[in-house]
Amino acid sequence: MTRFGVAAFTALVLVASGSAQDVDSGPKAGEKVMALKAFGLVGSVEGKEADFAAERKDDPTVYLFVQSEHFGRPAARFIKVLDSKVKEANEKAGVVAVWIGDKEAFAKNKDYLPRVQMSIKLENTAIAAADGEKSGPNGWGINADAHVTVVVADKGKVAKSFAFVSVNETDVRPVLAAVKGEKK
């Protein structure tokens, strides 16, 4: 096998053996949902800071923490499919998508994310931006290495957390299963 062939084979093995969910991020199942202060851009709260966890109260909610620097078409497709199917999983469910990053990203997101909404036309998702760190809001345990962290909550408690270093629409299925309350 040539040197190129060995390198290609090694890369293939590494890709095949790793999974999209190979980092730990977000609160653990059973933990209480923490306050989630972010600046609302689209949805129930627009143009001001709010506590989105308090807004959602005990309703089933999928919280998405999107690393601003890693947002692109695959993540947008994931969010769009989740938005379109979340009510099928639970009619009371909603999605809160919070973009996280440094202070520079926060300023850009305030202008950029309303344009994203005009493009993908989300119906069941509130869009917000958090000011501060890649580790997200205090108490949420977001790993900066996860491109998207998903936290499914119901009745004020975390049901399940997912961390994706790569995400696309095929990753919606396990999230919807958690919204339905399936114990898989």
CA dihedral 102, 32, 163, 108 (to 10 degrees): -20
| Other CB atoms within 10 Å distance of the CB of residue 84 | 16
Residue found by looking up tokens 């469910």 in the block: 93
Q: Measured in whole angstroms, how far is the alpha carbon of residue 114 from the centre of its chain? A: 17
| pLDDT tens series, the chain, 184 aa | 555 444 444 444 434 333 445 799 999 999 999 999 999 999 988 899 999 999 999 999 999 999 999 999 999 999 999 999 999 999 999 999 999 998 888 889 999 999 999 999 999 999 999 987 888 898 899 999 999 999 999 999 999 999 999 999 999 999 999 999 987 5
Q: How far is CA 45 from CA 48, 57, 153, 175, in A?
A: 7, 14, 19, 24
Domains of the chain in sequence order: 20-180 (3.40.30.10)
Bridge partners, 162 (sequence order)? 150
Edge to edge, the sheet with strand 157-164 lists 49-51, 37-42, 125-129, 94-100, 61-67, 148-154, 157-164
